[in-house]
Structure 1
Amino acid sequence: MKPVWVIDDDRSIRWVFEKALAREQIAHATFPSATEALSKLQTERPQAVVCDIRMPGESGLVFLDLIKRDWPEIPVIIMTAHSDLDSAVSAFQGGAFEYLPKPFDVDQAIALIRRAMVESEQQAPSKETQHDVPEMLGQAPAMQDVFRAIGRLSHSAATVMITGESGSGKELVARALHRHSPRSSKPFIAINSAAIPKELLESELFGHERGAFTGADGKRIGRFEQAEGGTLFLDEIGDMPFDLQTRLLRVLSDGFFYRVGGHQPIKANVRVIAATHQDLEDRVKEHQFREDLFHRLNVIRLRLPALRERSQDIPLLAKHFLLKSAQDLGIEAKRLSDSAMSQLAQFHFPGNVRQLENICHWITVMAPGQLVDDGDLPPELSQIAATRSGQIGDWRASLAAELISRLNRGENRILDSIMPEFERTVIEQALVHTGGKRIEASELLGWGRNTLTRKIQDLGMEET
C-alpha cells in the first residue's frame, strides 16, 4: 500500500503523526511544505494526504486544488488551528475528504486517516455519466405494471386517475403519459389544487376577464387554455373545492368553459390527468367529492406503489439520485457502501421517492469522502431505519434519539453524564419493583448488595 503523506510546517505536528502512524504500522512520509510535496508528486503517489491549511509558500488550499485537478482520487484531509467558517467552507468547496481542526485527538485523526485510505482503495476506476437516463426507474413488479400501462395508453387520449402516497412520483407518471401520447408536441400544464387558495383556484384554472373581480386589471389566460391541444395535470384533485368540482365536471362533459367574469364559451381540447393521495371513494361517501366527477375522472386508474412496497428499487434509485445531485453541483458522484445501502433499504420512507431523493442530495452535500458508509447517513435515518426493521427495541431507540440529540448539540464526554443517569433510572425502577428491598433489587440487577449501596451513595440518591 502507498504511504500516507503529512504536510505541516510545524515540526511538532509532523513528529506526532510520525509516531502515531508508525505505531499503527501505516507507511508514511512527512513534508514541511506543500511545495516539497507537490514536487514529490511528480514521481510518487500517496494513499491519502493530511495537509495543514496555512503554511509558508503554497497554502493547503492551493495544494488541495492542484491535487484534485490532476489526481482527484487521492483523499485530502485539511487541518488547521484556525477553526473558522471560511476555512471549513473553502476546504470542502475544494473537494477535501474531511476538515480536521487543531488541536485534535490523535486516535480520532488516525481513524480518519484509515477511512481516507479505504476510500482511496475503493475509488471507482471510471466515472459514471448520465447519458440516456430513463425518465422513470423501477424493477419491482408493481412498477413494471405501471410502465406496461403507460405503454398501452401511448395511443390513447383517455382520462387517467393516478393514485398513490405523497412523494411516490405521480407527476412523473403524468408527464410520461403525456410524453408518450399523440399530444406530446403540445403543452403539459400542471396545477396543484391543494397549493392554491380556494378563492384563486378558479381563476388559475379557467382564467378571468378584466374587471371580473377586485384586482383583475387585465385578462388572464387560465391553465385550461395554456394546455390547449396538450395535457392538463390536476394534482391533489381530492382537495378541489366542491363548487369548483361542478365547473370542472361541466368542462369534461361539454368540452366548453367560461373565464371568470366572461360570457363567451371557450372550447377546451385538453386531455385531463388527475392525481390524488386520498381515497376518493371515501370522499364521495362523505359528500366531499362529487360522485359524477369521480366517475368522469376515473376512466383509467393507475396506482403507484409506495417506495416501501418496492424496496428492491431503492439501490437503483439511490444510485440515480446520487449521480443526479452530483451533476447538478458539478462534482463527482458519491457511492454508498454495502452497509449504507442495506441501511437505506431498511428505511420506511414515509415521504417515498421524493424523500429518497432529498436524502441522496443530503449525502452528496454533507457526507465526507466519496465512499459513504452507514455512519455517514443522516442520523435520524439510522435510528428510524433500525427501529422499523426491528433491530432495536423501543428503549434503545429512545437512547439512540437522546445520543443523536446530544451529538448534534456538540456535547463532549457524553458517557460521563449519560451513564450515571442510566444507572440511576435502573436502580430506581428495580427498587420500585421490589418495594425498596435492596437485596432483592441487587439480585435482579446482578449486583451484590454492597455494590448497589455504593452506587446509590455515589449517585447521591435519597435513601430508599
Structure 2
Amino acid sequence: MKPIWIVDDDPSIRFVLEKALARENLPTRSFTHPREVLDALADVTAGDPARQGPQVLVSDIRMPGGSGLQLLEKVRELQPGLPVIIMTAYSDLDSAVSAFQRGAFEYLPKPFDLPKAVELIRRAVEESQREEVTEERQTATPEMLGQAPAMQDVFRAIGRLSQSQVTVLITGESGSGKELVARALHKHSPVADGPFVAINTAAIPKDLLESELFGHERGAFTGAQTQRRGRFEQAEGGTLFLDEIGDMPFDLQTRLLRVLSDGQFYRVGGHAAVKAHVRVIAATHQNLEQRVKEGGFREDLFHRLNVIRLRLPALRERHEDVPMLTRHFLQQSARQLGVEPKRIADSALARLEQFAFPGNVRQLENICHWLTVMAPAQVISLQDLPPEVLEAPVYQPPVRATPGAEPAATVTSMPVAPLAAVVPVAQAPAAPQPASDMVGGLHHPAVPAPMPAAAPSWSADAVAAAAPAAAVHSWEQALETEAQKLLAGGQPEVWDALTRRFESRLIRTALVATHGRRMEAAQRLGIGRNTITRKIQELGLDAPDEA
C-alpha cells in the first residue's frame, strides 16, 4: 500500500501519528513544510521509480514556508482524487471550513483524540483505494463486455441515446451491471465532460438521505457545522445516478419529483432555491409498477422517471458471455492480487455456463476472485469450482420461439399515460424478458412472446457429470466426516484443529469477496476489525492487501 504523507512543522505531532499508524500497519512518510511535499509530488509525477505517491495526505494548516490551504489547492491540481485531511487548532475553525469547501476530505481539530484520528485516516485510505479501483476499471478495461444478442440490444440503445439528455430508467436484477450502463450512458452523452455522481438510495439511512441528495445549510440540524453541497450540486452539469430508486422513502419521493418538475431545490434548512442542471438516470431491481399499486412509490414520479426504460438482461439470459467474462475477471483478479493469471479448463468453463448465477455478473466476478486465491493449480479444473456451482442443478434456459433473426431494439419515448398502459404483458415466471422487450417502456412489436417453460429437469447422469461425488454432500456432512476421521485416528485437540481450518477458510473467503478490505470483511462476517486482524495474525493467513 502507498504511504500516508504527514505534513507538520511540529515534530511531536509527526511522531505521534507515525507511531499510531505504524501500529495499524499503515506506512507513513513525513514532511516539515509544504515545499517538500510539492517537490516529492513532482518526482512522482515525473515517473521516478524510487518514489511512491501518497495514499492520503494529512497536513497542518499553518506552517513556516506556506499554508495548508495553499498546499491543498496545488495538490488538488496535481492529484484531484487524493484525500486530504487538514489539521487545525480550534481557533482556526473558519480556515478549516474554508479548506473543507475547497475539497478537503475532512478536517482534524487539535488537540485530537488519537484513535479517532487513526480511524479518520483509515476511512480516507479506504476511499482512496475505492477511487483507484474505479479508475483502473475505467481506464484499463472496456466499459462493458457482451456478445450475446440481449447485450447487443443494450449497446444499440446506448448508442441511440448518445445525443440525448433524456431521463432513463434502468431495470434489471441485482448484480447485472446497472451502474455500468449508467456510466456508459453518461460517457456517451452531451454532458460527458461533466461529473458522474452515483448514490445508492437504499444504502443511506432515511434521516441522512435528504441531506445527501440536497445538501444542508450550516446549523440546519445538530452536527451541521458547515454548509454542505448535496449530490445534485455535485453533479451540476453532468449526470446523477440514483441507484435502487424503488427503495427511496415516500416523503423524499415528493422532493425528487419537484426537482425533476421545476429544475430547482432547497438545501435542508435553506431558503434560497438552487438551480439543478443535471441529467438523472435511475435504476432499480424492483417492479415499480407493482410498487405503485401497493402505494410504496408515487405514480407521478414513476412517469417522470420512466421516459426511457432500458432493461438489462440477467447473466443466465446471456450465458454465451460467461467464457469471455470469466477470463476477463480472472485477469483482473490476478492484477489486483499481483499474481500470475490463472487459466480455466474447458470442463470448468462449461459448468459455469450451466450455472444460473442468481447473483449475476457480480457473482461471477466474486467466483473468479475466489478461484484466483483458492484454486491450487495454475489451470482451474472442474473440481476447483466452489460448492455453490458444483452442487447447483444444471440451468435449463427457457425455450423461445424464434422464427427469424431477432431485430435490434428500438428506443421510444414513453408518454405520460395511465399506469395500465406501461404494465408489461404477463409472462410465465420461468421465462425472463429479453433486453429488447422493454426499451422505452414499450414492447418491441417484432419480438415473439416467450413460451411457458417447464421447471428445469436433469437426470442422475447429468448431475453426476456436473458435480463430483465429493461435492454433492453438504458442508455439514463433510465436516462430520472429517471430524470422524480425525477422532478415529487419535488426532489431539480436534476442536482447535477444525476451528482453525474453519476460521481460516471463512476469513479468506470474506477477504476475497471484499477485495481484501479487512474492515468490510469484518462487518460482513459480523465481527470487529480488531478481531479479524488478530485472527489473521493468529492463523498465519497470507491475507490479500487491502484494496
TM-score interval for Structure 1 and Structure 2 normalised by the shorter chain: 0.5 to 0.7
Corresponding position: 1:150 with 2:158:
yes
Give the drift of 1:284.
Answer: 0.7
Q: Matches of residues 1-400 of structure 1 in structure 2 within 5 Å?
A: 133-386=141-394, 390-392=458-460, 400=471
Whether the aligned pair in 2 keeps the contact of 1:346 and 1:389 (CA below 8 Å) is no
| Inter-CA distance 324–389: structure 2 relative to 1 (3 Å threshold) | farther
| Rounded Cα–Cα distance in structure 1 between residues aligned with 2:461 and 2:283 | 38
| Inter-CA distance 237–393: structure 2 relative to 1 (3 Å threshold) | farther
Alignment partner of 1:405 out of 462, 476, 479? 476
| Rounded Cα–Cα distance in structure 1 between residues aligned with 2:183 and 2:285 | 17
Whether the aligned pair in 1 keeps the contact of 2:390 and 2:471 (CA below 8 Å) is no
| Rounded Cα–Cα distance in structure 1 between residues aligned with 2:483 and 2:205 | 48
Whether the aligned pair in 2 keeps the contact of 1:344 and 1:385 (CA below 8 Å) is no
TM-score under structure 2 normalisation?
0.50
Give the drift of 1:183.
Answer: 1.1
| Inter-CA distance 383–300: structure 2 relative to 1 (3 Å threshold) | same
Whether the aligned pair in 1 keeps the contact of 2:393 and 2:463 (CA below 8 Å) is no
In structure 2, give the amino acid aligned to 1:334.
Answer: K
Whether the aligned pair in 2 keeps the contact of 1:318 and 1:356 (CA below 8 Å) is yes
| Rounded Cα–Cα distance in structure 1 between residues aligned with 2:156 and 2:273 | 38
Which residue in the other structure is 1:109 paired with?
none
Give the drift of 1:368.
Answer: 1.1
| Inter-CA distance 245–131: structure 2 relative to 1 (3 Å threshold) | closer
Counterpart secondary structure, 1:384: coil
Whether the aligned pair in 1 keeps the contact of 2:394 and 2:463 (CA below 8 Å) is no
Give the drift of 1:413.
Answer: 7.3
Per-residue CA distance 1:349-379 (angstroms, 9 max, x = gap):
1100000000001001110111100101112
Per-residue CA distance 1:39-77 (angstroms, 9 max, x = gap):
xxxxxxxxxxxxxxxxxxxxxxxxxxxxxxxxxxxxxxx
| Rounded Cα–Cα distance in structure 2 between residues aligned with 1:331 and 1:131 | 20
In structure 2, give the amino acid aligned to 1:279.
Answer: N
Give the drift of 1:389.
Answer: 6.6
| Rounded Cα–Cα distance in structure 2 between residues aligned with 1:131 and 1:228 | 24
| Inter-CA distance 383–182: structure 2 relative to 1 (3 Å threshold) | same
| Inter-CA distance 252–188: structure 2 relative to 1 (3 Å threshold) | same
Q: Which has the larger radius of gyration?
A: 1
In structure 2, give the amino acid aligned to 1:183.
Answer: V
| Inter-CA distance 337–251: structure 2 relative to 1 (3 Å threshold) | same
Give the drift of 1:133.
Answer: 3.3
Counterpart secondary structure, 2:147: coil
Identity, in percent, stands at 70
Give the drift of 1:152.
Answer: 0.7
| Rounded Cα–Cα distance in structure 2 between residues aligned with 1:169 and 1:349 | 13
| Inter-CA distance 392–245: structure 2 relative to 1 (3 Å threshold) | farther
Give the drift of 1:273.
Answer: 0.1
| Rounded Cα–Cα distance in structure 1 between residues aligned with 2:457 and 2:348 | 14
Q: Matches of residues 419-458 of structure 1 in structure 2 within 5 Å?
A: none
Per-residue CA distance 1:396-420 (angstroms, 9 max, x = gap):
9999553543445771777x99xxx
| Inter-CA distance 211–146: structure 2 relative to 1 (3 Å threshold) | same
In structure 2, give the amino acid aligned to 1:282.
Answer: Q
In structure 1, give the amino acid aligned to 2:212.
Answer: E
| Inter-CA distance 264–403: structure 2 relative to 1 (3 Å threshold) | closer
Counterpart secondary structure, 2:290: helix
| Inter-CA distance 408–150: structure 2 relative to 1 (3 Å threshold) | farther
Counterpart secondary structure, 1:220: coil
| Rounded Cα–Cα distance in structure 1 between residues aligned with 2:179 and 2:343 | 28
Which 5+ residue runs of structure 1 have no aligned equivalent? 1-129, 418-464
Whether the aligned pair in 1 keeps the contact of 2:215 and 2:267 (CA below 8 Å) is yes
Counterpart secondary structure, 1:221: coil
Whether the aligned pair in 2 keeps the contact of 1:343 and 1:385 (CA below 8 Å) is no
Per-residue CA distance 1:114-155 (angstroms, 9 max, x = gap):
xxxxxxxxxxxxxxxx99632101111110000001111111
| Rounded Cα–Cα distance in structure 1 between residues aligned with 2:290 and 2:284 | 13
Whether the aligned pair in 2 keeps the contact of 1:225 and 1:268 (CA below 8 Å) is yes
| Rounded Cα–Cα distance in structure 1 between residues aligned with 2:457 and 2:352 | 11
User: What stretches of structure 1 move > 2 A for 4+ residues in a row?
Assistant: 130-133, 385-410
Give the drift of 1:380.
Answer: 2.4
In structure 2, give the amino acid aligned to 1:377.
Answer: L
Counterpart secondary structure, 2:391: helix
| Rounded Cα–Cα distance in structure 1 between residues aligned with 2:350 and 2:483 | 30
TM-score under structure 1 normalisation?
0.58
| Inter-CA distance 375–287: structure 2 relative to 1 (3 Å threshold) | same
In structure 2, give the amino acid aligned to 1:311.
Answer: H
Whether the aligned pair in 1 keeps the contact of 2:244 and 2:285 (CA below 8 Å) is yes
